[in-house]
């Protein structure tokens, strides 16, 4: 590997939670579990919520279920994808993650569906 890849980790965050903050935190923790193996392999892990949630807070939103979230959550991921080199799509139903994959494919970026597919990640 000559250059670290910035890899967007995409998967369920709000999907299937019915707005329950504890379930959303659990989903975010699941996304974050992929961060260390990516980093350890020399890459830069990125999760859209790491950017979107502070943006929402600074905009005065009450959280990811606030109406303003629709104007922030997906747009943040779309903007991040302009800087990412690949997407790691984790399992689970997620309209946002599916949109991330579609954008990545439109841009010709690799889409990995397992950590072991990512260059340098040990099996």
CATH number of the domain within which 27 lies: 3.40.50
* 1 is a domain residue: no
* Rounded CA separation 29/27 (Å): 5
Select from 12, 15, 117 the least CA-distant residue to 65.
15
Q: Is the pLDDT of residue 1 over 60?
A: no
Tell me which residue range forms the domain holding 40.
6-117
Select from 76, 100, 78 the least CA-distant residue to 12.
100
Q: Specify the number of domains making up the chain.
A: 1
What's the chain's average pLDDT?
95
Task: Using pLDDT thresholds of 50, 70 and 90, give the confidence band for residue 97.
Answer: very high
Q: Is the pLDDT of residue 54 over 80?
A: yes
Measured on CA atoms in the order 101, 84, 43, 8, is the torsion positive or negative?
negative
* 122 is a domain residue: no
Q: How far is CA 45 from the centre of its chain?
A: 9
Indicate yes or no: pTM above 0.85: yes
């Amino acid at each position: 590997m000559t250059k670290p890849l910035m890899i967007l980790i995409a998967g369920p965050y709000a999907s299937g939670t019915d707005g329950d903050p504890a379930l959303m935190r659990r989903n975010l923790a699941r996304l974050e579990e992929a961060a260390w193996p990516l980093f350890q392999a020399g890459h830069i892990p990125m999760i859209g919520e790491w950017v979107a949630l502070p943006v929402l807070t600074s905009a005065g939103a009450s959280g990811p279920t606030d109406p303003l979230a629709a104007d922030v959550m997906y747009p943040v991921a779309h903007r991040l994808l302009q800087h990412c080199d690949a997407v790691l799509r984790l399992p689970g139903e997620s309209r946002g993650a599916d949109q991330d994959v579609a954008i990545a494919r439109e841009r010709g970026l690799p889409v990995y569906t397992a950590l072991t597919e990512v260059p340098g990640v040990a099996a």
